[in-house]
Amino acid sequence: MSDRATGARLKPDQPHRMASNTKTYVSAAVLRLYEEGKVKLDAPIGGLLSKESVETLRRGGYDPEVITVRHLLTHTSGIFDYAMSAPFQEAVFGSPTKRWTREEQVRFAVEKGQSYGAPGSVFHYSDTGYILLGEIIERITGEPLAAALRTLLAYERNGWKSTWLETLEPVPAGEAERAHQYIGTVDTYGFDPSFDLFGGGGLAATPRDMAAFTRALFEGKVYRKKETLDVMLSQPPVAAERNYRYGIYSKTVAGATAYGHTGFWNTFSFHFPELDLTVAASVTQQEKAFDAAGAILTGIVQRVK
């Protein structure tokens, strides 16, 4: 169902919030800037962020002159992840219509948690790093994040008409109603998207658009140089246990290697180069003990093979 309250059926062309699948888009946008010579991956983030963000990080004991863009992309910065912390989740559920800002979330990370370790020495997934990348994209391009992603990744040329950064740009004309997504019995449809909006998450899209984007990375439709994809798929040794790369990771499904990402709402999009197969989907029930997404992906790959 798309909506339990009305009994409306879920349709394959309905968009949904994709949560952390957004990170692949943000990473790709940063790597496009890298391609254009507008950012260096080993550049300290201190010179790329606003004065306010730099001061906030320093108050938390972080050194923006040591943390690099590469560290943020690969989750090796050591910066505390505000998004999955109990205090932040309690704040979101306690006030689901609150309009958050990026600055509030960076402060939340600094005030509610401690560093995971020295930059480059530890892997720990961190939405905080990706909302900082969102700010870096804005400051380099001079555009709001939504417009910058649209331009850098060539949405229009690639035909992604059902992808948008929720509330930061208009819903595409003629788009089907966004699907309701549930955590247990809680319908999160009315939650203000700002709790997950500024780079760590925030995009809404149809599964078809998600699959098209993931596939485009491998078909030369996003990057101008093959070497850029090679960078994206390279793996820092410290992230080897999770097979995490640059906003994308690898996994083995039914004996085949996949590259892609998943999201909090049980969204996923993976490309299998050896099978010439791309699969994206959303399971609108968020339930940790119920891995429907994994079962769907495995079943499809087994059938294709």
Mean pLDDT calculated for residue range 261-287: 93
Q: pLDDT tens across 17-41, in order?
A: 999 999 999 999 999 999 999 999 9
Does residue 300 surpass a pLDDT of 90? yes
What's residue 63's pLDDT? 98
Number of Cβ within 10 Å of residue 287's Cβ equals: 12
Identify the band that residue 288 occupies on the pLDDT scale cut at 50, 70 and 90: low
Q: Give the number of other Cβ atoms within 10 Å of residue 98's Cβ.
A: 13
Average pLDDT, the chain: 96
Arithmetic mean of pLDDT, 77-97: 96
**Based on C-alpha coordinates, what's the Rg of the chain?**
18
Give the global pTM: 0.97
pLDDT recorded at residue 290? 63
Q: Length of the chain, please?
A: 305
Return the pLDDT at 170: 96
* Sequential DSSP letters for the chain: --BTTTTBPP-TT--EE-GGGHHHHHHHHHHHHHHTTS--TTSBGGGTS-HHHHHHHHHTT--TTT-BHHHHHTT-S----STTSHHHHHHHHHSTT----HHHHHHHHHHH----SSTTT-----HHHHHHHHHHHHHHHSS-HHHHHHHHTTHHHHT-TTEEEBTTBPPPTTPPPPPP-EETTEE-TTS-GGGG-SSSS-EEE-HHHHHHHHHHHHTTSS-SSHHHHHHHH---GGGGGGTB-SS-EEEEETTEEEEEEEETTTEEEEEEGGGTEEEEEE-SEE-TT--HHHHHHHHHHHHH-
Distance CA 75, CA 81 (A): 10
Alpha carbon 83 to its chain centroid, in Å, reads 12
Residue 184 pLDDT level (bands cut at 50, 70, 90): confident
CATH top class, domain 16-304: alpha beta
Domain segments of the chain as ranges: 16-304
| Percentage of the chain exceeding pLDDT 70 | 99
Residue 253 has pLDDT above 70, yes or no: yes
Q: Which two tokens stand for residue 88?
A: 């932040």
Confidence tier at 179 by pLDDT (50, 70, 90): very high
Q: Which residue has the higher pLDDT, 44 or 291?
A: 44
- Model confidence at 166: pLDDT above 90: yes
Task: Determine the pLDDT at residue 285.
Answer: 87
Nearest C-alpha neighbor of 282 from the set 197, 178, 193, 130: 178
What share of the chain in percent tops pLDDT 90?
Answer: 93
pLDDT at residue 289 tops 60? no
- Predicted confidence at residue 102, as pLDDT, reads 98
14: nearest Cα among 167, 206, 286, 165: 206
Report the C-alpha gap between 91 and 73 in whole angstroms: 27
Residue 72's identity, in one-letter code, is L
